[in-house]
Amino acid sequence: MKKKIILYLLIGLPLTALCRQELSKQSVNDSTIAQASIATLKKSILVQPEQEAALYQALLQERANRRQVFKQYWRTPQFRDKLAQATYQRDSIYQTVLGKVKYLRYRQQQQMDREQFELQQQVRTKQETDSLTNPTKQP
């Protein structure tokens, strides 16, 4: 009995503390991501303080849902569907909280941002390819 207690104190407690530390890092990460997402939303559409709180909670819930999907369904045929379902749940909450008009504006802004990012990636890739094929040319 004493050996089990000593073994638990030597191994179990440090592992428990390590697990708590990882969970704390995840929640800080989720919080940071949620705050950044809300800041982006504020730039594109007018968000009321009550809406901000509801959106923050929706984002935290979505992050938890996505983490659960990754844990449970990674490398399974259902993975893509479950991930899409988590995103759909977030979007339905967004639509409820923001209203249809603001939600559509948010989606349009999101699409434009995605297209702009893809164009930047294409330009960057082309520049890298050009610099590899023509090392004498300076971009």
Per the structure, the complete domain to which residue 60 belongs is given by: 48-124
Tell me if 113 is assigned to some domain. yes
Per-residue pLDDT band at 26 (split at 50, 70, 90): low
Which pLDDT score is estimated for 19? 43
Tell me if 56 is assigned to some domain. yes
Measured in degrees and rounded to the nearest 5, phi and psi for residue 135 equal: -65, -20
Alpha carbons 38 and 138: distance in angstroms, whole number: 40
Alpha carbons 122 and 75: distance in angstroms, whole number: 29
Alpha carbons 9 and 6: distance in angstroms, whole number: 5
Tell me if 132 is assigned to some domain. no
Which pLDDT score is estimated for 4? 52
In eight-state DSSP terms, residue 79 is: H
Token digits for 4?
């089990």
Tell me if 76 is assigned to some domain. yes
Q: Once rounded to an integer, what is the mean pLDDT over residues 3-26?
A: 49
Tell me if 137 is assigned to some domain. no
The answer to pTM > 0.85 is: no
Which pLDDT score is estimated for 68? 93
Question: pLDDT of 54-103, one tens digit each?
Answer: 889 988 998 999 999 999 999 999 999 999 999 899 889 989 999 999 89
Helices and strands (DSSP H and E) totals, the chain = 5, 0
**Number of structural domains found in the chain:** 1
Which pLDDT score is estimated for 37? 76
Measured in degrees and rounded to the nearest 5, phi and psi for residue 39 equal: -60, -40
Tell me if 134 is assigned to some domain. no
Which pLDDT score is estimated for 29? 80
Q: Once rounded to an integer, what is the mean pLDDT over residues 19-48?
A: 70
Per-residue pLDDT band at 27 (split at 50, 70, 90): low
Tell me if 3 is assigned to some domain. no
One-letter amino acid identity for 8?
Answer: Y
Which pLDDT score is estimated for 20? 46
Tell me if 52 is assigned to some domain. yes
